[in-house]
Structures are given as C-alpha cells and as structure tokens.
Amino acid sequence: MNIKKKITIILFSVITVFSVTATQETKQVEAFSNQVIQQGAVGEDVIELQARLQYLGFYNGKIDGVFGWGTYWALRNFQYEFGLEVDGLAGSTTKQKLAKASQYDEAFIKKQLNAGNDFTYYGGTPKENQVKQDNNKNQGNTNQGKNQNNAATPKKTTNNNNKNQQSTPPKPTAVNVPNGFSQNDIKLMANAVHGEARGESYEGQVAVAAVILNRVESPSFPNTVSGVIFEPRAFTAVADGQIWLTPDDSSKRAVLDAINGWDPTGNAIYYFNPHTATSSWIWSRPQIKQIGKHIFCM
C-alpha cells in the first residue's frame, strides 16, 4: 500500500516535471496581462505574480491575490537578484524575466484557492505535498458540493493539460483594508450608515459615515467606532434596531470613501432631520450644510 503510494507520487512528479518543461516555451506567451502591476493591486495577475515569486522562493506569504508589503519586498528581491531595476513594479521586463524563470500552474492554484486550502507553491517540491489537509471534512464537503471535474483527487488535477478547461480565473482571497480599520469595523459602520441613510443619495451616505469618524476623533465622543455607534441615543437606527438590516453595497462603498478621507460635511459631528428632530437643542448647533434630508452641524 505504502509503496504503491510512493510510486504513484514519484511517477506523478516525474510526469509533472516533464509536462511542465515541455510546455514551458509556449507558456511564456500567456503569462500575465499587459498591465504594470503595482503595490495595492488586486486580482488574477497578482495571484500569478505571488505564485511565481513563491515558486522561486522569494515570496513566503500567502498567495491571496492582494499586492501587499510581503509581495513588494519579494518582488524587489527578485529584481535585485536578476539584475533588474529595483522599483517594486512588475513591468514588462520584470514580468518576462519572471515568466521565464518560473512556472505557473493556474489550475492547481485556482483549485486550492477555491477550496480555501492552506497551501504553498514552491518550485522543486511536489505540489500535493504543499497542501495542508487539516480540515478534511470541510474540503470533502466543498468538493462534493461543487461536483466539478476538479473534484477528483488532487493528484490528477496538477496536470498542466487542465488549462484547457473553460474555467473562471482564480479570485483573490483577501481584500485591501485601510490602515487602522478592520473589515468588521467597516461592516459595522456600513450597517449604521445603511440604517441611518438608506434613502439618501450616495453623498449623504458618505456624509453619515464621515460624521461617525469625526466623532471618533472628537474629544467629546467615545474613541472607537463601536463606542460611537452604540452610544445610547446617539443614532435612531441603533435605538430602533434598523442597524441590523443587511447593508447594501453602496453603504459599504460610502464607508470606504469616508475612511479614505472624503468628508462631504466639512467636519460635522452632528446631523439631524429637520422634519423629525424633537430636540430644540440640536437647532442651536452651528450648521454647516444640508445634504438630502439631513442638516449637518458642529
């Protein structure tokens, strides 16, 4: 049994190496799209970049499709070692050099990404040994659920011929987040924005998100996003439970814009709807501007 397994593995890796060397010449043409890839980018090209850098041993992080600092230093080291200009940009020369020096097995990477596996892609080690199989149950389920041709054992799919399958390109498994905020902060804020301003224009939604952030900065309010949002009686949407409605896409984008520096309100820390405001005190605040139904003030 054991010997059989070993033989298959050895046989298999031989086949892989062979088929890879055979296709190498033609593969260069299909490597990457035309864009110059720079830090902050997301997508297929970044996945390929990370995989190729890892293949050569420059990149030790996760292949997740987001060009972060780890990828940046890996790329710079690659450029240095290969005598290229060290600028941290993957331009045409760098991409060509990289494609020549490494191999990229899109089908394998895609399968691992889709299955959510913990995997690496170093050259010279059999790929199937680089997949962590610690959550067997989950994996089995997803494979069955998908029931596609790549639901077979991982050993078969590593073949390069699989490229012929009409398959969707690999998707990044990570996202950019602004410094100082987690995805959950963003979600919480999007919930609040959706509850408070879902009838408003996009600008009005960014404005509400900006007010939340201005309050975090302000000495008269709690210093955290959650503190500001859940401050009792601060937001009507929190008081009546509307905050737990599922936020739409536009409120999420509005929150990102506000975090990235847009503030349509000009540093407002209060806002109110003049038709429904019950407190006379709120009218005494110096007003800045009206956006949609809300008046924003200091």
Partner 1 sequence: MVRWISIVVLTLGLIATGIWGYQEHREKNAILIQAENNYQRSFHDLSYHMDLLHDKIGTTLAMNTREQLSPQLAEIWRLTSEAHTDVGQLPLALLPFNKTEEFLSNIGDFSYRTAVRDLGNEPLSEEELETLNKLYEQSGEIEKELRKVQSLALKNNLRWMDVQLALASNDEKADNTIIDGFKTVEKTVKGYSEGNFGPTMTGMARENHEYKYVKGEAITKEKVEEMAKELFKIDKQTELTITESGDGAQLPFFSASFKNDQKTGYVDITKEGGHPLSLMVNREVGKQKVSLNEGMELARKYLEKHGFDSMEAFQSSQYDSVGVYNFIHNQDDVRIYPDSIQIKVALDNGDILGFSTRDYLRNHRERDIPEPELSIEEAKEKVNPNVDIKDQHLAIVNNDLGEEVLAYSFLGVLGNNTYRIYINSSTGMEVQVDMLKNAEIKFD
16-35 binders of partner 1 (CB under 8 A): 35
Cβ–Cβ < 8 Å for 216, 225: yes
* Separation CA 27–CA 29 (nearest Å): 5
Binding of residue 151 to partner 1 (CB under 8 A): no
Nearer to partner 1 among residue 114 and residue 158 (C-beta) = 114
- Name the minimum Å distance from CB 145 to partner 1: 17
Stretch that binds partner 1, among 95-103, 117-125, 137-145, 213-221 (CB under 8 A): 213-221
Binding of residue 148 to partner 1 (CB under 8 A): no
Q: Is the dihedral of CA 39, 44, 48, 54 positive or negative?
A: positive
* Site size for partner 1 (CB under 8 A): 75
Binding of residue 38 to partner 1 (CB under 8 A): yes
Q: Which of residues 254-283 bind partner 1 (CB under 8 A)?
A: 256-257, 260-264, 266-268, 278-282
Nearer to partner 1 among residue 53 and residue 268 (C-beta) = 268
What character string, x for contact with partner 1 (CB under 8 A) and - otherwise, covers 70-109? x-xx--x------------x--------------------
* Separation CA 251–CA 189 (nearest Å): 9
Binding of residue 69 to partner 1 (CB under 8 A): yes
Binding of residue 298 to partner 1 (CB under 8 A): yes
Structure tokens at 72: 């940046």
Q: Using the rule CB under 8 A, which residue among 16, 27, 31, 43 binds partner 1?
A: 43
- Name the minimum Å distance from CB 161 to partner 1: 29
* Separation CA 229–CA 226 (nearest Å): 5
Q: Which of residues 127-146 bind partner 1 (CB under 8 A)?
A: none
Structure tokens at 99: 């494609």
Helix 92-101 vs helix 2-30: crossing angle, to nearest 10: 150
Binding of residue 164 to partner 1 (CB under 8 A): no
Cβ–Cβ < 8 Å for 183, 269: no
Q: Which of residues 214-253 bind partner 1 (CB under 8 A)?
A: 217-223, 227-228, 231-234, 250, 253
Q: Is the dihedral of CA 258, 261, 267, 269 positive or negative?
A: positive
DSSP 188-213: HHHHHHHHHHTTS-HHHHHHHHHHHH
Q: Supply φ then ψ for residue 294, to 5 degrees.
A: -100, 140
